[in-house]
Chains A and B, each alone.
Chain A
Amino acid sequence: MAASTQGDMSAPTMVTQMTDSASAPALRFNGVSMVYPDGTHALRETTFDVRPGEFVTVVGPSGCGKSTLLKIASGLNKPTTGSVDVDRTKVGYVFQDATLLQWRTVQRNVELLAELQGMAKVERRQRAEETIRMVGLGGFESKYPKQLSGGMKMRASLARTLVLDPKVFLFDEPFGAVDEITRERLNDEVISLFGRERFAGLFITHSISEAVFLSTRVIVMSARPGRIVAEFAIPFDYPRAPELRFDPRFAELAGQISHELRGAHS
């Protein structure tokens, strides 16, 4: 029942996809299933890929295996059956919580992954300074996490991942814990990052408007054990302006996704 909705969305103002459809996928799930040791069947036979320049968002009922999908993609979990094709050294992973190390300043937190990777001190310091500015945290380098608001922590977490210049970006409901206005601002940041860096993005969210706003493609998953029940191409051009959220076509897509999602819950 994969609902493909490109048909009537080809008005001239909506230039689709910065994707080069000929390029090889940066991330590919081949029939991935996951059964946890305690018998929880979290994922069923999931196959899809994400190409460079594609931003794929997964929505689905809570507990349907979305986080599991990302853990398998990153190598934190091994799938029970199936496989994942991805260059793990190029994967950046943004967790739901900022997971900053409380005893490190923003600067030293942003350097962390590069430090673990063995990047030279001078280089990682400079990279960190750049990404801190990129996410709008300039001036907060020497603050500790307890001095930051939720939104600022997420920015620091983004910067930390950006330092390694990932080609595949995994986001696990990164803005679930911040308020609506901060979330929209952070979405604008992600969109502009995506416009600049053209990574392959795999994003998970509960928010349909976030999904439509950010993505080139939205995947709807069923309740546990999760599998793909619908897929929507989102044909708006990048860079996307915040006003896009008030566009009637935006509302229509969001409505369709919401409809599928309600079906997926039962």
Chain B
Amino acid sequence: MSDFSETVGHAHHDADILIHEQAPDLELQLDAAPPPPSTARSRKGMLVSYIGPVVVFLLFVVFWEFMHRWGMRHLLDKRPQLLPSPVTVIDKSFLDANVRHQLIAGLGWTSYAAFIGLAITIVIGMLLAIVMAQAVWVERSIYPYLVALQATPVLAIVPIIYSVFGGGMNSRIYVCVMISIFPIVTNTLFGLTSVDSSQHDLFTLRNASTFTRLFKLQFPAAMPSIFTGFRISAGLAVIGAIVGEQFFREGEKPGIGIVMEQFRQKLRYPQMYGGLLIASLLGIAVFFVFNALGKLVVGHWYESTRRT
């Protein structure tokens, strides 16, 4: 642990020195391009950005083991079997071929629901945002209903969803859309409407049409926000798919949530936790895929204002 804090300390120290050293240089190259970031500094940054998550992960595993061995009984007054050790979980779920197949099949169905749900969310959400971006009164007219949708608990409308979409996959996809649509709409809308006003003036001066303005100015400018929306919504779509599985279990398509519930009923806790781990891995994977996609699309021009 002390190694880690030392590394962080050094990184700060070096950054300070770099800033001081660069100052006189900058004054000399007034009209020159900004200098590329120092490689020494970014290498150190890489180290920190890898070490951080690894340390947190190790702390988490240690805490888990501690809760299993001691905390469950002495802190929570529960049987330790309710929270098996991480080693047991890996052994009984991922290293057991049978269980592994069940979990992976479940993961497949959950991903399927999340993927279709996300695709529908992206299409509907972006269309909604485009419509809302056209005039403030349109935005004001639609926004309250989005908030209402966002605030409605799935549980409360299970009967309605059931009667409209049935008890299987379609309803799970609906839950996905319902849970994940809000960030897409708000982020896209924010991106489309917060274009610099003098950039708009540029288009106004050349009599650009609404269509030209949308596709040559607003959409490209909104891409960073749109990808932020994608990333958040993708995570929510995974959650939506699993939440949907809690309520809509009909059909031959048992997702990871259903598989986990079956293990729980049979008191096979290690296998259930294995499902939990796989489900969160799916969420993390989806997040990173969209993060990478975003970097690929806008990384070459987008200048994040956040300090690194």
Q: Are B198 and A95 in contact (CB under 8 A)?
A: yes
Q: Are A95 and B208 in contact (CB under 8 A)?
A: no
Q: What's the minimum C-beta distance from B26 to chain A, rounded to whole angstroms?
A: 10
Alpha-carbon separation in the docked complex, A238 to B192 (Å): 46
Q: Are A76 and B204 in contact (CB under 8 A)?
A: yes
- Binary B-proximity of A159-174 (CB < 8 A = 1, otherwise 0): 0000000000000000
Alpha-carbon separation in the docked complex, A233 to B287 (Å): 64
Alpha-carbon separation in the docked complex, A106 to B221 (Å): 16
Q: Are B205 and A99 in contact (CB under 8 A)?
A: no
Please tell me the number of chain A residues within 8 Å of chain B, measured between CB atoms.
32
| Residues A182 and B301 in contact in the complex (CB < 8 Å), given A99-B198, A103-B221, A116-B203 | no
The residues in A between 124 and 152 inclusive whose CB is less than 8 angstroms from any CB of B are 140, 143-149, 151-152
Q: Are A149 and B301 in contact (CB under 8 A)?
A: no
Partner of B34, one of A99, A101, A147: A147
Q: Does A113 contact B (CB under 8 A)?
A: yes
Q: Which residue of chain B lies nearest to A118 when distances are taken between CB atoms in the complex?
A: B206
Q: Are A145 and B301 in contact (CB under 8 A)?
A: yes
Q: Are A103 and B301 in contact (CB under 8 A)?
A: yes
Contacts of B18 in A (CB 8 A): none
Alpha-carbon separation in the docked complex, A102 to B301 (Å): 6
| Residues A103 and B31 in contact in the complex (CB < 8 Å), given A75-B205, A116-B203, A116-B212 | no
Q: Are B301 and A151 in contact (CB under 8 A)?
A: no
Q: Are A147 and B198 in contact (CB under 8 A)?
A: no
Q: Are A76 and B205 in contact (CB under 8 A)?
A: yes
Q: Are A99 and B199 in contact (CB under 8 A)?
A: yes
Q: Are A146 and B220 in contact (CB under 8 A)?
A: no
Alpha-carbon separation in the docked complex, A4 to B182 (Å): 64
Please tell me the number of chain B residues within 8 Å of chain A, measured between CB atoms.
28
| Residues A144 and B201 in contact in the complex (CB < 8 Å), given A116-B208, A149-B33 | no
Q: Are B33 and A101 in contact (CB under 8 A)?
A: no
The residues in B between 16 and 69 inclusive whose CB is less than 8 angstroms from any CB of A are 29-34
Q: Are B196 and A146 in contact (CB under 8 A)?
A: no
Q: Are A148 and B33 in contact (CB under 8 A)?
A: yes
Q: Which residue of chain A lies nearest to B300 when distances are taken between CB atoms in the complex?
A: A144
Partner of B201, one of A91, A95, A103, A116: A95
Partner of B31, one of A104, A113, A185: A185
The residues in B between 207 and 223 inclusive whose CB is less than 8 angstroms from any CB of A are 207-208, 212, 216-217, 220-221, 223
| Residues A101 and B31 in contact in the complex (CB < 8 Å), given A75-B205, A93-B205, A144-B301 | no
Q: Are A152 and B199 in contact (CB under 8 A)?
A: no
Q: Does B95 contact A (CB under 8 A)?
A: no
Q: Does B298 contact A (CB under 8 A)?
A: yes
| Residues A182 and B31 in contact in the complex (CB < 8 Å), given A102-B303, A103-B223, A145-B301 | yes
Q: Are B202 and A99 in contact (CB under 8 A)?
A: yes
The residues in B between 278 and 308 inclusive whose CB is less than 8 angstroms from any CB of A are 298, 300-303
Q: Which residue of chain B lies nearest to A181 when distances are taken between CB atoms in the complex?
A: B30
Alpha-carbon separation in the docked complex, A145 to B303 (Å): 9
Q: Are B298 and A113 in contact (CB under 8 A)?
A: no
Q: Are A116 and B206 in contact (CB under 8 A)?
A: yes
Q: Which residue of chain B lies nearest to A136 when distances are taken between CB atoms in the complex?
A: B31
Q: Are B201 and A182 in contact (CB under 8 A)?
A: no
| Residues A113 and B206 in contact in the complex (CB < 8 Å), given A97-B198, A147-B33, A182-B31 | yes
Alpha-carbon separation in the docked complex, A97 to B197 (Å): 11
Q: Are B202 and A113 in contact (CB under 8 A)?
A: yes
Q: Counting chain A CB atoms within 10 Å of each CB, which of B34, B207, B301, B303 scores highest?
A: B301
Alpha-carbon separation in the docked complex, A112 to B205 (Å): 12
Partner of A152, one of B31, B201, B298: B31
Contacts of A115 in B (CB 8 A): 216
Contacts of A179 in B (CB 8 A): 30
Q: Counting chain B CB atoms within 10 Å of each CB, which of A143, A149, A151 scores highest?
A: A149
Contacts of A101 in B (CB 8 A): 199, 217, 220-221
Alpha-carbon separation in the docked complex, A102 to B195 (Å): 11
Q: What's the minimum C-beta distance from A74 to chain B, rounded to whole angstroms?
A: 6
Contacts of B216 in A (CB 8 A): 115-116
Q: Does A117 contact B (CB under 8 A)?
A: yes
Contacts of A112 in B (CB 8 A): 202
Contacts of B205 in A (CB 8 A): 74-76, 91, 93
Alpha-carbon separation in the docked complex, A20 to B143 (Å): 59
Q: Are B303 and A146 in contact (CB under 8 A)?
A: yes
Contacts of B220 in A (CB 8 A): 101, 103
Contacts of A102 in B (CB 8 A): 221, 301-303
Q: What's the minimum C-beta distance from B175 to chain A, rounded to whole angstroms?
A: 35
Q: Are A117 and B301 in contact (CB under 8 A)?
A: no
Q: List 13 A-B contacts (CB under 8 A).
A: A95-B201, A97-B198, A99-B201, A101-B221, A102-B221, A102-B301, A102-B302, A103-B223, A103-B298, A103-B301, A113-B202, A116-B203, A146-B302
| B interface residues, Cβ below 8 angstroms from A | 29-34, 196, 198-199, 201-208, 212, 216-217, 220-221, 223, 298, 300-303
11 more A-B contacts (CB under 8 A) besides A116-B207, A179-B30? Answer: A76-B205, A99-B199, A101-B221, A103-B220, A113-B206, A116-B203, A116-B206, A140-B33, A146-B302, A149-B30, A181-B30
In the A-B complex, the 7 residue pairs with the smallest Cβ-Cβ separation, listed nearest first, are A116-B206, A146-B303, A151-B31, A103-B220, A144-B301, A103-B301, A99-B198
